[in-house]
Amino acid sequence: MRQVIDESKGLRVKQSACFICSCAAASKQVRHGDLLIYKCPYCGQYCVKDSDGAWIEAEQPVFFKKAPALAFERKLKGLDKYELRWAQDVKQACLGNVPFLSDYPDSFPDRLDRVLLNIARRLDFDPTLALSDASFVPAMFFVEPDLSNEIDYLPTMRAMISVLQHEGFVGYHHDTYEHENLHLTYQGVVKALELHRKISQSKRAFLAMWFDPSLTAYRKAVENAVRAAGYDLLVVNEVHHNDYIMDKVLNLITESRFLIADLTCAPEEVRSGKPSKGVRGGVYLEAGYAKGLGKQVIFTCKEDIASQDRIHFDVKQVNTIFWSEDADRKVKAFSAFDFIEYLEERIVATVGRGPRERT
Ligand SMILES: [Zn+2]
């Protein structure tokens, strides 16, 4: 069924201002007709298709209240360069298949922690540096921008700084509220580093695999195993390969707790001069990238000659989980065990149980 959107709703994508935070200093480029690439001083670089942007605007107005703070935080963390898309099944703006707003801190203490981290990142965790209040933006303080009243957020920002000051985490040179010289105390640096370590314990796992219909049951089984182990699975569909998308994939890996790399492949075929199938170079690239970041990689591979014969000798020695499907299309590990349970145990043994509630 073709979905129809109210024409009057897709206004943000038509403007040149930042799609997420409405900043007029943002630049917008159009590629391939409908891919909008934004560079915003606050939100960093990201892209969205104009149809997806119109859907976000029409169906998820809360996005524009919460997303600027998350985009600002992502830029500070170097995690911009992503593609924002509209996921019709969950009716939310998503990165890959994870809702963009899922990281939003809903309680005041959580927001306060993230504000302290934003201040610390701006100051390179260095108590000798200071921050001018001219560079303060609502997004930095997780204050939802009220476009009708720009002054409204200032008291909230000041209240947050007061609480942090009272806790002994930040201070002012000259002890004034002139906002010229906000700095971290030593205690603030220690607290920020502690929070940084805690928050970087991501609840996401990344799956690198060949996107072929023959792997549908496997993919579903991995999703169930990852969820049972307490993590969310991130799968990025094979998309047109350009640098922008690769940046996005590498960002998502950077954010993940661990990676599952499936080495399943099929013999290469050449049709009208174009090669297809063959060893999945992308899977090796993504696994290597994750390894280079010090992340755990769990290898799996279909138990068939075509795949097993093509495993690169450098990973032949690793403890790969070989899987197959039985007559009922149930996925098995080493033809004997329940794959979902086997992979769940391997994940827990490798990186520990994740923070996600068991469902
Ligand atoms: Zn912006």
C-alpha 303 – ligand 1 centre gap (Å):
47
Regarding pTM above 0.85, the answer is: no
Same domain, 182 and 289: no
C-alpha 139 – ligand 1 centre gap (Å):
9
Q: Residue 331 maps to which CATH number?
A: 3.40.50.10140
Q: Mean pLDDT throughout 17-45?
A: 92
Same domain, 230 and 276: yes
C-alpha 18 – ligand 1 centre gap (Å):
5
Question: Lowest mean pLDDT: which of 164-178, 214-228, 279-293, 343-357?
Answer: 164-178
Query: So what's the pLDDT on residue 252?
Result: 83
Same domain, 222 and 154: no
Helices 243-255/281-292 angle, 10° precision: 50
C-alpha 76 – ligand 1 centre gap (Å):
13
Same domain, 250 and 291: yes
> Is 12 inside a domain boundary?
yes
Query: So what's the pLDDT on residue 189?
Result: 96
- Identify the sign of the CA torsion 8, 10, 15, 21: positive
Same domain, 170 and 233: no
Same domain, 95 and 133: no
Q: What is the mean pLDDT of the chain?
A: 85
Same domain, 218 and 304: yes
Same domain, 236 and 344: yes
Same domain, 335 and 238: yes
C-alpha 20 – ligand 1 centre gap (Å):
5
> Is 284 inside a domain boundary?
yes
> Is 241 inside a domain boundary?
yes
Q: Residue 124 maps to which CATH number?
A: 1.10.10
C-alpha 247 – ligand 1 centre gap (Å):
19
C-alpha 74 – ligand 1 centre gap (Å):
11
d(CA 88, CA 52) in angstroms, rounded, equals 9
Boundary residue ending a domain (168, 199, 230): 199
Query: So what's the pLDDT on residue 150?
Result: 56
Per the DSSP assignment, residues forming a β-bridge with 261 are: 208, 299
Q: Mean pLDDT throughout 191-207?
A: 84
Query: So what's the pLDDT on residue 146?
Result: 62
C-alpha 170 – ligand 1 centre gap (Å):
27
d(CA 63, CA 85) in angstroms, rounded, equals 12
C-alpha 322 – ligand 1 centre gap (Å):
45
Is the pLDDT at 103 greater than 50, yes or no?
yes
95 vs 339, residue with greater confidence = 339
Query: So what's the pLDDT on residue 239?
Result: 47
Is the pLDDT at 51 greater than 60, yes or no?
yes
C-alpha 353 – ligand 1 centre gap (Å):
36
Q: Mean pLDDT throughout 61-75?
A: 93
Question: Lowest mean pLDDT: which of 58-67, 91-100, 326-335?
Answer: 91-100
> Is 269 inside a domain boundary?
yes
Q: Which domain holds residue 158?
A: 108-199
> Is 356 inside a domain boundary?
no
C-alpha 67 – ligand 1 centre gap (Å):
9
Q: Which residues contact 81 (CB under 8 A, 6 or more apart)?
A: 44, 45, 46, 244, 247, 248, 251
Boundary residue ending a domain (145, 179, 199): 199
With CA atoms as reference, report the closest residue to 56 among 28, 80, 92: 92
**Joined tokens for residue 248:** 């996005």
With CA atoms as reference, report the closest residue to 137 among 260, 21, 303, 255: 21
> Is 121 inside a domain boundary?
yes
C-alpha 289 – ligand 1 centre gap (Å):
29
Domain count for the chain = 3
Same domain, 71 and 126: no
d(CA 240, CA 309) in angstroms, rounded, equals 28
pLDDT digits (tens, 9 = 90+) for 283-323: 999 999 999 988 899 999 999 888 888 888 777 777 899 99
C-alpha 250 – ligand 1 centre gap (Å):
22
> Is 55 inside a domain boundary?
yes
Q: Mean pLDDT throughout 146-169?
A: 79
C-alpha 64 – ligand 1 centre gap (Å):
10
Query: So what's the pLDDT on residue 1?
Result: 38
Same domain, 98 and 134: no
C-alpha 26 – ligand 1 centre gap (Å):
7
Give the environment of ion ligand 1: residues with CB less than 5 A: 18, 20-21, 23, 40, 42-43
Per the DSSP assignment, residues forming a β-bridge with 16 are: none
250 vs 118, residue with greater confidence = 118
C-alpha 32 – ligand 1 centre gap (Å):
22
C-alpha 244 – ligand 1 centre gap (Å):
18
Per the DSSP assignment, residues forming a β-bridge with 214 are: none
Boundary residue ending a domain (152, 170, 199): 199
Same domain, 334 and 232: yes
